Chain A
Amino acid sequence: DTAVSQTPKYLVTQMGNDKSIKCEQNLGHDTMYWYKQDSKKFLKIMFSYNNKELIINETVPNRFSPKSPDKAHLNLHINSLELGDSAVYFCASTSRETQYFGPGTRLLVL
């Protein structure tokens, strides 16, 4: 009965590769997010979608492209991975005020 799930949990890849992270929520929420947590544990919002429409796009490189096939899913595709992309990526969803987070995807770029 997981509320917000992410796959994969761990992702180790080489520089220059393209990878995707998937997120699904079964809470019936309209809005979903991607956050990046860096090595210092700092959390910063990257994107937000409301009913499949992009509503927040922070200053994120174009190599990052979110895609929302339906309001229960928000995937993150990353092109040409760089060392600095190594981080934990969290998906979250909300219906109104409170955001509920997934378990995170730990990405390591070698």
Chain B
Amino acid sequence: AQSVTQPDIHITVSEGASLELRCNYSYGATPYLFWYVQSPGQGLQLLLKYFSGDTLVQGIKGFEAEFKRSQSSFNLRKPSVHWSDAAEYFCAVGPPQGAQKLVFGQGTRLTINP
């Protein structure tokens, strides 16, 4: 069965520090991979996605993610976080023929210390 694991439920980093949010997936083939962000009381906004090609993908707001097939991982990174990055982050996988059914991880809540 398809599944997504985000091992860290809650992460706290200081403003200006680097960030890495982990995502591991279990899927029969190489899926389409996504990171979404949910600010408090808001909907989900797409940060970035990976379908194929270059395994390092750039997204909005200075985020990037790296797909590692051997580790079944798609970790999200940002070199220097801003207070406005405080939010809930969701990793998701979908079938390679199209995102007909996304499976989400349980989310990682990011807190930024001033």
Do A and B truly interact? yes
Interface on A for B, CB 8 Å cutoff? 4, 31, 40-45, 48, 55-56, 90, 92, 94, 96-104
Residue in contact with B46 in the complex, picked from A31, A42, A98, CB distance below 8 Å: A98
Interface on B for A, CB 8 Å cutoff? 32, 34, 36, 38, 42-46, 49, 51, 88, 90, 94, 98-104, 106-107, 109
A40 to B34, CA, bound (A): 20
A90 to B41, CA, bound (A): 12
Given A31-B100, A96-B99, A98-B46, 10 other A-B residues pairs in contact with their CB atoms under 8 A:
A41-B38, A41-B107, A43-B44, A45-B103, A97-B32, A97-B49, A98-B34, A98-B99, A101-B45, A104-B42
Q: Which of A42, A96, A97, A102 counts the most B-chain CB atoms under 10 A from its CB?
A: A97
**Given A97-B49, A101-B36: A90 touches B99 (CB 8 Å cut-off):** no
Residue in contact with A40 in the complex, picked from B44, B45, B98, B106, CB distance below 8 Å: B106
Interface contact A99-B99, CB-CB below 8 Å: yes
Interface contact B46-A43, CB-CB below 8 Å: no
CB distance from A84 to the nearest CB of B (A): 19
Interface contact B102-A45, CB-CB below 8 Å: yes
Q: Which residues of A contact B36 (CB under 8 A)?
A: 101
Residue in contact with A101 in the complex, picked from B43, B49, B94, B101, CB distance below 8 Å: B43
A80 to B38, CA, bound (A): 30
**Given A97-B49, A97-B94, A101-B36: A42 touches B101 (CB 8 Å cut-off):** no
Please name the residue on chain B nearest to A45 by beta carbon. Answer: B101
